[in-house]
A and B are shown apart, each in its own frame.
Chain A
């Protein structure tokens, strides 16, 4: 129909992308996020909201299965773009263009009907609870495919109401090698400058900061963090980075609401979420300060945080998400 075609073309100008990244897809994800921001698209938070699924890198078996589940949940018109982990800017732009063209066509790909019969799910079972009641427990896995969630992390939780009763942590893959790359190269004996490592380090911090701010319900600040991150990765000089970074750090530090919401959340060895935020801001500043340093890299990669599942037990879902985002954990396997 004429009207349908017109509406489809209008809609295709504003696609709602949903990104999934495998462990080796970080570079493609970052390029894709930057391209999406440049095109002024607004990312989707769930499959129902999305029209465009972007898969970055080569997912392993379990992640592939999860991606298929997600893809099944996208309503038509929908399009999918699979990007290799090392996708160039041009390749990313090209893949997105093709996806938009398919959306504008509105070609609804036929999908196999059925799947598991939805009616035969059991009801939830009861279990004892923190407050001394015995009420229903739901098994709710967080990750691997969840917006603003560390890549490859799965936390299997048992929820009662919105409070986590049990939590187990597992990692699908060995973390994101992209962030460790300068150190790995230096360890392999190739010349790497401190500035290069500092740049990568600052970008990693800002990537995590973006996730934390987004989970904290402050999308505008999250966007600022990601903008600085994208500039870092686009090799912008230090002078072009300090001013926007300082503006962001000032805004984040000045927010009384953010401090109020993070204080006392997820106390670990290094303090609560607020202390970790402060430490991250300081570390990012130092890393940005070092990006002009030409001296050869001779230090080990700074250790990442681990996620202790006991921390999440007893926490409400929103607090648990803040804990994970503020720790920005990686798998226990150390990178050589």
Chain B
């Protein structure tokens, strides 16, 4: 267990560093994914099976989407031309090192509370009950938030809305597709 933890910890930190060292967007994204997968696997070590697997599931999909966007907008996405991808290198190094040290110090300086009670037999089950019971309000708020997110991203991302598709009075039966408009 301890060995596995240390391996995963080293992998996640090393892959995290690699994100900034490699000069290909694809490599950077997948280094980040490797780092996050190591974190997900670490969750498995403390028997949070559902959360660990969920992290793997979500992060693979999300990193792929991130890769798609990074490559769409970043110059030289494959790193085929020698080129420095980091701006203000020195300051960035200092800031990130300082934040890392701060966070690690936080881990050691916090007085963690002693465990109270026994861990539940099935944490996933417990999670479900929490979502349905005391955290219900949270979930509903999140539902509205997600709806708002969907609407706002669609508004921001599509430059041709329903009036471009169905005509000014929404009279067209079959919408025009991109490239079809007159």
Contact = CB atoms under 8 A, between A and B. Distances in A.
Direct A–B contact in the complex, CB atoms closer than 8 angstroms: yes
B76 A131 contact: no
A contacts with B: majority SS: loop
Interface string A124-167: 00000011100100000000000000000000000000010000
Contacts of B76: 123
Interface size class of A (residues with CB under 8 A): under 10
B179 A314 contact: yes
Nearest to B160: A131
B159 A132 contact: yes
A34 to B, nearest CB: 40
A14 B159 CA distance: 52
B91 interface: no
B contacts with A: majority SS: loop
A315 B80 CA distance: 29
A123 B159 contact: no
Contacts of A131: 159, 178
A123 B80 contact: yes
Contacts of A314: 178-179
Contacts of B95: none
B1 interface: no
Contact of B179 (A123, A130, A132, A135): A130
A123 B24 CA distance: 14
Contacts of A123: 76, 80-81
A165 B84 CA distance: 31
B156 interface: no
Contacts of B72: 135
Nearest to A119: B80
A329 B179 CA distance: 23
Nearest to B76: A123
Contacts of A163: 179
Interface in B149-182: 159, 178-179
B155 to A, nearest CB: 16
B179 A315 contact: yes
Given A123-B76, A123-B80, A130 B159 contact: no
Contacts of B178: 130-131, 314
Interface in B75-94: 76, 80-81
Question: What are the 7 A-B residue pairs with the smallest beta carbon separation, nearest first?
Answer: A314-B179, A132-B159, A123-B81, A130-B179, A123-B76, A123-B80, A130-B178
12 contacts: A123-B76, A123-B80, A123-B81, A130-B178, A130-B179, A131-B178, A132-B159, A135-B72, A163-B179, A314-B178, A314-B179, A315-B179
Given A123-B80, A131-B159, 11 more contacts: A123-B76, A123-B81, A130-B178, A130-B179, A131-B178, A132-B159, A135-B72, A163-B179, A314-B178, A314-B179, A315-B179
